[in-house]
DNA sequence: TTATATGTTCTTGT
DNA sequence: TACAAGAACATATA
């Protein structure tokens, strides 16, 4: 499921394949995903000029149009972004055709994603109430964010208005590496525990991006590859992993290694 | 057939 | 009033 590392991979894919080429046509196949933008608006804003840069914040990807304005994509639970020159993938919600014959497909299988247009990226982030990006959130700010929070640390890490980018899977991974139980009260974590979580979060995200956000290519020492096994065991101590519902999501954690 | 999975938004509760 | 928790959403898969 697209969390920060996945969206970063999409961003790089768009960067590598779809910049600096004039847009010939835009095809909005699923209008239900449009927010604050019409089919006509997208066409008028993009056709005839290229995209010239990209930006990611949390799970949002922005592509900047050369004549101004940002095309914004949110991938929901089943989104994908394909840059290819052959075939027409199923479930394409938005397709851009470029003048060199290539195209870019924004896929959304379950239609919980979003296509938006904004003149100002930062205004958009503010209106959406998004917190700082998980990769650039400094330690001091992270500690402040925890202060006084009564909910679980897992819920807080998944709350996009607190910190943008983490979803269920990478939150579990972060807390496992920090050695902190997911159901601990966020505001009651020690100074050192907060530091460990912050460090683990950045390490996990950076590593996942380096490995192309491919679940099959994650380190053996991670929980992530074991989530789908029938008898998942802790990569640290080999004890059976616990499953619980925390923050409304299925949570994997180790009773031995996380306190 | 039904339960489950996911991220966000909306609603309800503390 | 702020914060927290849970339901709803769409739909493919087990």
Cα–Cα distance list, A2 to A10, A30, A141 (Å): 10, 19, 25
- C-alpha span between A81 and A218 (Å, rounded): 21
Q: Which of A11, A59, A154, A184 is catalytic?
A: A59
Nearest nucleotide to the CA of A169, by C1', is: B6
Of A213, A218, A202, A200, nearest to A258 by C-alpha is: A200
Res. A217 pLDDT band, cuts 50 70 90 = confident
Contact flag, residue A31 CB and nucleic strand C, below 7 A: no
Q: pLDDT for A96-124, tens place per residue?
A: 999 999 999 998 877 678 899 999 999 88
CB-facing half-sphere around the CA of A259: CA atoms within 13 A: 4
Cα–Cα distance list, A104 to A23, A63, A66, A92 (Å): 10, 12, 17, 10
pTM above the 0.85 mark? Answer: yes
- pLDDT of A30: 83
Q: How many residues does chain A have?
A: 259
- pLDDT of A215: 83
- C-alpha span between A22 and A19 (Å, rounded): 8
Contact flag, residue A29 CB and nucleic strand C, below 7 A: no
CB < 7 A to strand B: residues 159-178, chain A = 160, 167-169
Give the lowest-confidence range in A4-8, A73-77, A82-86, A154-158: A82-86
Q: pLDDT for A247-258, tens place per residue?
A: 888 899 999 999
Question: How far, in Å, is the CA of A72 from the C1' of nucleotide C13?
Answer: 29
Task: Find how far residue A182's CA is from the centre of its chain.
Answer: 20
The reply to whether A3 belongs to the active site is yes
Res. A163 pLDDT band, cuts 50 70 90 = very high
Q: pLDDT for A38-59, tens place per residue?
A: 899 999 999 999 999 999 999 9
Is A253 in contact with A172 (CB distance < 8 Å)? Answer: yes
Burial of A218 (0-12, 13-18, 19+ CB in 10 A): buried
């Amino acid at each position: 499921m697209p969390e920060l590392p996945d969206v970063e991979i999409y961003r790089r894919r768009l960067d590598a394949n779809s910049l600096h080429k004039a847009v010939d046509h835009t095809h909005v196949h699923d209008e239900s995903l449009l927010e604050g933008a019409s089919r006509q608006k997208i066409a008028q804003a993009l056709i005839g000029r290229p995209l010239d840069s990209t930006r990611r914040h949390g799970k949002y990807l922005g592509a900047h149009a050369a004549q101004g304005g940002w095309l914004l994509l949110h991938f929901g639970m089943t989104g994908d972004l394909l840059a290819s020159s052959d075939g027409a993938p199923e479930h394409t919600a938005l397709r851009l055709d470029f003048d060199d014959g290539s195209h870019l497909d924004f896929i959304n299988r379950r239609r919980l994603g979003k296509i938006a247009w904004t003149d100002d990226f930062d205004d958009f982030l503010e209106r959406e109430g998004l917190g700082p990006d998980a990769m650039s959130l400094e330690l001091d700010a992270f500690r402040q964010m925890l202060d006084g929070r009564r909910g679980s640390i897992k819920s807080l890490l998944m709350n996009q208005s607190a910190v943008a980018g983490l979803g269920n899977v990478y939150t579990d991974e972060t807390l496992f590496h920090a050695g902190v139980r997911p159901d601990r009260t966020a505001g009651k974590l020690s100074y050192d525990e907060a530091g460990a979580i912050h460090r683990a979060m950045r390490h996990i995200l950076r590593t996942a991006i380096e490995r192309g956000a491919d679940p099959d290519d994650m380190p053996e020492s991670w929980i992530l590859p074991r989530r789908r096994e029938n008898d998942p065991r802790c990569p640290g101590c080999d004890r059976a992993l616990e499953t619980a519902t925390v923050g409304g999501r299925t949570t994997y954690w180790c009773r031995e290694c996380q306190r």
